[in-house]
Structure 1
Amino acid sequence: MIALDFGFGALEHEFWRLLFVMTRIGAALVAAPLFGISSVPPQVRVIGAGAVAVLVCAWTGVVVPPALFSLAGLLAVLGEVLVGLALGFVLQLSFAAPILAAEVIGGSMGMNMAVAVDPNSGTQSPALGQYFAVVLTLVFLALGAHLQWFALLVESYSTFPPGHTWLGAERTALIASFALRTFTTAATIALPVCLVLLVVQLVTGVLSRSAPSLNLFSLGLPAGILGGLAALLVSAPLLTDLVVRLSHDAVTQAAEVLQP
């Protein structure tokens, strides 16, 4: 099968089949926002990919290329990586919406000075972005969306069997179009707070103009922070609804990629 024979017969065949199946699952876990963060040890990802691969091998009839170390076999492995990265990247697009909204809100509030390391990307992000990301993660897990995503990952072996993993121009354009939903959702999350902050800044500007002795920075920054926090509290139900919709869209977008 792979031009190497260690003399273990059927057991060796199943071992290479398991490793081949783990390629797509491991790529998807690395690209996914929840399982691919830097704080998750690589050993945990390998164990998780192996556990899911055992179920896939038992539930599906995945056939390994006859010569895995040949050019055709390596192309098949690259195709597996491509499908896995695509399914994980779709989740990344959904989880990026709250971070984009936090950038806009934090810039208006003056909260961008308070930054923290984003565990998803390893880069610095506003503190509000961490808050939104935690809320989205909790809702995503509470709704069981991660289980639906794993089910779609298993289903991908029927839509894209080994050796037939080319996504094509239509699916590639579809994945790129998901970015529009990301920006739309980010604008929807940030719009109520930004409108309140705009009113606060207008009032602060009028007061500073009418009373020049008032310091604009000493008055505007605390007012912006208090107004932004009040707007976040008032818009909390809207944020919850949008986060629930984001979780649904994340799974729906992954399902759209798998549609024939």
Structure 2
Amino acid sequence: MIQLDFGFGALEAEFWRLLFVMTRIGAALVAAPLFGIAGVPPQVRVIGAGALAVLVCAWTPVMAPPVLFSVAGMMAVMGEILVGLALGFALQLSFAAPILAAELVGGSMGMSLATAVDPGSGAQSPALGQYFAVVLSLVFLAHGAHLQWFALIVESYRALPPGQTWLGAERFALIAGFAARMFAVAVTIALPACLILLVVQIVTGVLGRSAPSLNLFSLGLPAGVLGGIAALLVGAPVLTDVVVRLSADAIAQVAELLAP
């Protein structure tokens, strides 16, 4: 076994306890959609993980393994990382639904080439998806859902204490179910706009067949863009309601993951 002892006694034991608690919190922050984006400096995530770890150490009797730098200690750390990533990934799935809906709407509008850099992943994503993601982020923060997520992270130390962090087949099946919900919500967001765009495309197709002299490409693209903008304006109240429900469902998914 490998054990580091710098001779500081109880102070050193509290330091290793704090560092052990920060492992789960730091993994959750890295996997979360708002706190794990590339624009957030790593120092901010470390400070946030340390602040939450202080609260966890004060409110829960969680203890670090007696010998942290050993096989058992490393396995405990890996379990903490697994739980933290699961808590962040369950939240990430909800935030992926608007991006997927934007792929459907943008393709129907003919705006597939209008892309922007996603600050969360650093990859190219539809510009319309950035709009949906910003709306969801604002609603999520305005409703205080991030504070509820922090509370669930603290509660996870009671539901899944160190040493009992293997999620099991049931919880992994729940995460797969969350992915299925993500696709259903994405279809709900994109359905009104896609229906209107389908009507626009049918109309432009009929016009192109009835008047062959019309240039279908020069007529269809502007009509699709205008129809898509009109569909987004008409569906704005529906989008707001869906995003509010999606923000609540994101927290409910994390809570469901911690349920016994």
Q: Which band: TM-score by shorter chain?
A: over 0.9
Show the 5 A alignment for 1:33-48: 33-48=33-48
CA distance in 1, matches of 2:70, 2:20: 14
Partner of 2:177: 177
Q: Across the two proteins, how many residue pairs are aligned to each other?
A: 260
Show the 5 A alignment for 1:130-209: 130-209=130-209
Verify the 8 A CA contact 1:2 1:66 in the aligned structure 2. Answer: no
Identical aligned residues as a percent: 80
Q: Which runs of 5+ in 1 are unaligned?
A: none
Q: TM-score, normalised by structure 1?
A: 0.99
CA distance in 2, matches of 1:206, 1:169: 53
CA distance in 2, matches of 1:4, 1:94: 41
Partner of 1:257: 257
2:222 is the counterpart of 1:217: no
Post-superposition CA distance 1:83-142 (Å, at most 9, x none): 000000001100000000000000000111110000111110011000000000000000
Q: AA paired with 1:103?
A: E
CA distance in 2, matches of 1:230, 1:192: 11
Change (3 A) 1:151 1:119: same
CA distance in 2, matches of 1:220, 1:44: 48
SS in 2 for 1:197: helix
SS in 2 for 1:246: helix
2:94 is the counterpart of 1:94: yes
SS in 2 for 1:37: coil
CA distance in 2, matches of 1:121, 1:92: 11
Post-superposition CA distance 1:54-105 (Å, at most 9, x none): 1111111111111111100000000000000000000110000000000000
Q: Which runs of 5+ in 2 are unaligned?
A: none
Partner of 1:227: 227
CA distance in 2, matches of 1:202, 1:259: 48
Partner of 1:56: 56
Show the 5 A alignment for 1:111-130: 111-130=111-130
CA distance in 1, matches of 2:71, 2:2: 11
- Give the deviation of 1:5 after TM superposition: 1.1
Q: AA paired with 1:124?
A: Q
- Give the deviation of 1:2 after TM superposition: 6.4
- Give the deviation of 1:231 after TM superposition: 0.6
- Give the deviation of 1:209 after TM superposition: 0.7
Q: AA paired with 1:42?
A: P
Q: TM-score, normalised by structure 2?
A: 0.99
SS in 2 for 1:254: helix
CA distance in 2, matches of 1:36, 1:42: 9
Q: AA paired with 1:147?
A: L
Show the 5 A alignment for 1:8-87: 8-87=8-87
